[in-house]
Every structure is written in structure tokens, then in C-alpha cells.
Amino acid sequence: MERKRGKTRAEEFEKGAARRDREKYVFRLYVTGLTPRSTLAIANIRKLCEEHLAGRYELEVIDIYQQPKLAKREQIIAAPTLIKKLPLPLRKLIGDISDTEKFLIGIDLKPKKS
């Protein structure tokens, strides 16, 4: 009589990876007007999202000069700041998002190196 076994670790990993490939990412990018640093951050995040999350992301850009209450509510202390709202857990990345590796690790698309 053959006994049914639970899923192997490899099967669980593959299932989790497949789920991540379908997950929708929701980002909110806080910037300070149209400064060169803000413009660079917007361009960088759009480029990285198109390369790694094409068709699976929403990006809302918020100027903290125009919406200071929203920035205060989100506890934004520096700009540019990118917040990954979904999938959970929430993550915050500060800077112009020019480091691809840091971005991918920061939004949980790539594991940290041990």
C-alpha cells in the first residue's frame, strides 16, 4: 500500500514562485516636485517595473509639496521614497532607485544573499 506524502520543498518553492509571477504590485512613489532627483527616481522605477513586472504593477507618483498630509500620514521623512503597498509585507525604499539589485531585494523579488 502506497502512502501519500505531503508536497516536497521543491514543489512548495515552485508553487510560491508561480504565485509571485502572477501577483500584482502596488507602489507609491513620493517625490519633491520636478527636481532632477525626483525625475530620475520616476524614470528608474518605471524602467525597473517594466523590465521585471510588466503588466503586473501600479505606480502612483505623489508630490509631497502638493499633498503634504498624505506624506505625513505615510511618515515620509525623505524623498524620493518608494512604498511597496502590495503584495505584503509593506516595504519602503529611499533614494532614486538606481540600484537594480537593491530594488529587487527591497520589493522581495529576489532573496538577499547570505
Pairing assessment for the beta strands 91-94 and 57-63 based on DSSP bridges: unpaired
Structural domain of residue 48, as residue ranges? 24-106
Q: What is the mean pLDDT of residues 6-16?
A: 58
Q: What average pLDDT does range 85-114 have in this prediction? A: 92
Residues found in the chain? 114
pLDDT tens, residue by residue, 29-60: 999 999 999 999 999 999 999 999 999 999 99
What value does the mean pLDDT take over residues 17-29?
Answer: 80
Residue 79: CATH number of its domain: 3.40.30.10
Q: Whole-prediction pTM value?
A: 0.79
* pLDDT of 1 over the 50 cut: no
Q: For 49-106, where are the E strands, in sequence order?
A: 57-63, 81-86, 91-94
Total domains in the chain come to 1
Q: Which residue has the cell 529576489?
A: 110
User: Does residue 10 sit within a domain?
Assistant: no
- 111 inside domain: no
Residues with Cβ within 8 Å of residue 81, at least 6 apart in sequence = 29, 30, 92, 93, 94
In a domain, 14, yes or no: no
pLDDT for res 89: 95
Is 18 inside a domain boundary? no
What letter would DSSP give residue 85?
A: E
